[in-house]
Structure 1
């Protein structure tokens, strides 16, 4: 097992909600952590069950960046193992870049522990493959522009949705009307299906099948405006035809397998 070092900050992806989806590395760090700073508005409190009773628990929703860094710096000066818990995988909409820069400025060692993103948890719950041969071989993780998020030029949902890709639309449930407008601008039809994965893997998880046209109405009906991921694109549709990859096709050869027609001397 890799060493867990006192005087180090561990930025941990807590996963989508289910404590059992935390990585083993993340669990081991929480079990040894002296100080834990966690995104309490986004993470199921059950994740804290891995922590020692003596651990100092700090919420981050009511603190700004300088205050959070201050807690980390003080804890490291006390030679603590510090766990900074983020929801999902911290590399996606985790706002960790600014924290890592601040830690580097203070010459504080840190490590990032990946987590299960809600997009993959949603696919698992839906029993869907997000990359379907001949339909979608690209997955786009994006969001619509909001009050706290300015998008670069050319990165709007209406632009990205023109590609034959599966769209995982984060942090946009409160802007459902804008999601609908931008999908329609991109060429989606009003009847095209969407999936809303609300608090996926939490005890109160909801999976809502909607359409481009009815998205706002369905979210209002279910009183959902946060903790939700919207999935769109050809991969989420129900296909009647038997779509198969070539990887396991008996006539397809690769490094580890010859096609059946070569082994038998006949065409399959």
Structure 2
């Protein structure tokens, strides 16, 4: 059976009504995308959770728009709004904190919309891990230090984790990790990260209410994580970044992207700089070929 493009699924679902999942970003009202801002302003119905989304994000709604605070709502509570959108041809802005694709509980909503015959689409948003890195002016993928990001949560909470996904096993990779929904169990989190192989001195960034007016951004060592979070009474709305790439001070390696000795599709290499890279074995087997993906990282 051939795959049906998403746009085709939308057209087949229903010519009437549409739900747009809007990424609200981490909190600051000017960190939502222009597209998301426009959809909220055009929507007939705006569904948002006051416990997670800043009121400023949705304050530009139409005067006649139906505003629904979903902080205490279940999916069953929201279903009649989706049915109304289908039956009356309405536009719904379903506003989610951060990016809807990350711990957004949107998959179950799409399943419901498919059952109801309602079209939908998603507008991405800036996630808290990205905002935290930006607020602390760090790069989470430093060449030769960390080239991967693991985004996860501590197991053992109210929401079960797949059996092969544990913080301890992920920590064995030693790369950058972003941890959500784990602040309330920060002692266990510290223990699992250390047990997985991160050294005690591994740098950690703690971001509470990132980009909100009451934002709190901190640095500490991994073996100080629990004490730091306990001191500041952080148990929710907190993202934690850990990994060697987050350290302060000069880096020991640089990207090839702007190195004069690296040749790619848009620039020839300077011979002397290229010889210096070769002497360090930094160019590898593809040194004389343009990077096929245009990404010399």
TM-score of the pair, normalised by structure 2: 0.83
Pair 80,266 (structure 1): closer, same or farther in 2 beyond 3 Å: closer
- Computed over aligned residues only, the root mean square deviation of the Cα atoms, in angstroms, reads 2.1
Per-residue deviation, residues 115-154 of structure 1 (Å, max 9, x unmatched): 1111111111111111001100001100001433211122
How far is the alpha carbon of 1:221 from its aligned partner?
A: 1.8
Structure 2 equivalent of residue 128 of structure 1: 138
State how 1:60-71 maps to structure 2 within 5 Å: 60-71=70-81
Structure 2 equivalent of residue 231 of structure 1: 241
SS where residue 85 of structure 2 aligns? Answer: helix
Structure 2 equivalent of residue 217 of structure 1: 227
| Cα distance between partner residues in 2 of 1:138 and 1:235 | 10
| Cα distance between partner residues in 2 of 1:13 and 1:218 | 30
| Cα distance between partner residues in 2 of 1:100 and 1:219 | 36
| Cα distance between partner residues in 1 of 2:169 and 2:98 | 26
Q: Is the 8 Å Cα contact of residues 202 and 244 (structure 2) preserved in structure 1? A: no
Structure 1 equivalent of residue 8 of structure 2: none
How far is the alpha carbon of 1:224 from its aligned partner?
A: 1.4
How far is the alpha carbon of 1:80 from its aligned partner?
A: 1.8
State how 1:134-149 maps to structure 2 within 5 Å: 134-149=144-159
Structure 1 equivalent of residue 87 of structure 2: 77
| Cα distance between partner residues in 1 of 2:21 and 2:156 | 26
Structure 2 equivalent of residue 17 of structure 1: 27
Per-residue deviation, residues 84-103 of structure 1 (Å, max 9, x unmatched): 00000000110100000001
SS where residue 63 of structure 1 aligns? Answer: coil
| Cα distance between partner residues in 2 of 1:154 and 1:34 | 43
Pair 47,242 (structure 1): closer, same or farther in 2 beyond 3 Å: same
| Cα distance between partner residues in 2 of 1:265 and 1:88 | 42
Per-residue deviation, residues 211-252 of structure 1 (Å, max 9, x unmatched): 222222221221211111000001111243453111111111
How far is the alpha carbon of 1:266 from its aligned partner?
A: 9.6
| Cα distance between partner residues in 1 of 2:266 and 2:111 | 45
| Cα distance between partner residues in 2 of 1:81 and 1:265 | 56
SS where residue 84 of structure 1 aligns? Answer: strand
| Cα distance between partner residues in 1 of 2:38 and 2:275 | 55
Provide the aligned length of Structure 1 versus Structure 2: 263
Pair 134,105 (structure 1): closer, same or farther in 2 beyond 3 Å: same
- 1:154 and 2:164 matched: yes
Structure 2 equivalent of residue 99 of structure 1: 109
TM-score of the pair, normalised by structure 1: 0.92
| Cα distance between partner residues in 2 of 1:221 and 1:154 | 32
